[in-house]
Amino acid sequence: MNRLSNKVAIVTGASSGIGRVTARLFAAEGAKVVVGARRQAELDSLVAEIRAAGGDAVAVAGDVRSEDYHKALVAAAVERYGKLDIAFNNAGTIGEAGPSTDVSETGFADTLAINLTASFLAAKHQIAEMARHGGGSVIFTSTFVGYSFSFPGVAAYAASKSGLIGLTQALAAEYGPQNIRVNAVLPGAVDTDMYREMNDTPDKQAFITNLHALKRVATPEELARSVLYLASDDASFVTGTALLVDGGISITRT
């Protein structure tokens, strides 16, 4: 408890899945949280849950493809809570999947816009604010896909998410001197809406589950605890990393 006392955080992709659970955990650990996604009703119910549990949060709905949206999230943190210490840039999409010879230019570009360019735009405004108050922690949600392992039919997703690892390293090197840590978390399969939409039959779920050394997929809570580690002072000397939280999918061949 209280590992994030007196901290102010932004969490994107907070309307569901990993982001929603992480926002709740950040708040339970003492952070004041600005939660973002497009679905206002889901954000409002999350804020209500956090407040009912004694925490503090505010919702700012919008689309991460807009640079103005990232300015608005940072402005909400500063105007309401006075500063920004932590940013979990987690919103993401599978994007246009299927045989790569069929993927459209707009589908590929849009996948990069949501997963990669939006993360850069977010960090650009977050880091500028963090630097004014002595530092901070930025975390991106990447994936093992396209890093340690891949499947057919996910070229846009893999390209966008592995791009986040280069972005992580470049920003970590650039802003380390200002006490800003930048890391990526690389989940294995996590039981969320995205996972269930991608794996919509028992056979597909069994196939994915079996790829993991632990022979199960993660809960969103397991990811949230790893993100909490990177956000907190427990990770005070950790920057520029790609942290696999993947149940061993990267090292398994059975």
Ligand X SMILES: NC(=O)c1ccc[n+]([C@@H]2O[C@H](COP(=O)([O-])OP(=O)(O)OC[C@H]3O[C@@H](n4cnc5c(N)ncnc54)[C@H](OP(=O)(O)O)[C@@H]3O)[C@@H](O)[C@H]2O)c1
Contact call for residue 133 and ligand X (CB under 6 A): no
Shortest distance in whole angstroms from residue 13 CB to ligand X: 3
Shortest distance in whole angstroms from residue 242 CB to ligand X: 12
- Phi first, then psi: what are they for 53, rounded to 5°? -90, 5
- Contact residue for ligand X among 22, 90, 168, 226 (CB under 6 A): 90
Identify the burial level of 111 via C-beta atoms within 10 angstroms of its C-beta, where 0-12 means exposed, 13-18 middle and 19 or more buried: buried
Closer CB to ligand X, residue 16 or residue 252?
A: 16
For residues 57 to 86, the per-residue mask of contacts with ligand X, x marking binding by CB under 6 A and - elsewhere, is ------xxx---------------------
Catalogue the long-range contacts made by 222-227 (C-beta closer than 8 Å, 24 or more residues apart): 222/190, 223/18, 223/21, 223/22, 223/185, 223/187, 223/190, 224/18, 224/21, 224/22, 224/24, 224/25, 225/25, 226/185, 227/18, 227/22, 227/25, 227/88, 227/90, 227/139, 227/185
- Contact residue for ligand X among 3, 30, 38, 67 (CB under 6 A): 38
**DSSP symbol at 213:** T
Contact call for residue 143 and ligand X (CB under 6 A): yes
What is the rounded (10 degree) CA torsion for 29, 7, 131, 164?
Answer: 30
Number of residues that bind ligand X (CB under 6 A): 28
- What 3-state DSSP class applies to 20? helix
- Contact residue for ligand X among 180, 189, 224, 231 (CB under 6 A): 189
Contact call for residue 146 and ligand X (CB under 6 A): no
Shortest distance in whole angstroms from residue 37 CB to ligand X: 3
Shortest distance in whole angstroms from residue 133 CB to ligand X: 26
Contact call for residue 15 and ligand X (CB under 6 A): yes
Active site residue 147: no
Contact call for residue 190 and ligand X (CB under 6 A): yes
Which residues are the active-site residues?
Answer: 157
What residues line the site for ligand X (CB under 6 A)?
13-19, 37-39, 42, 63-65, 90-93, 114, 141, 143, 187, 189-190, 192-195
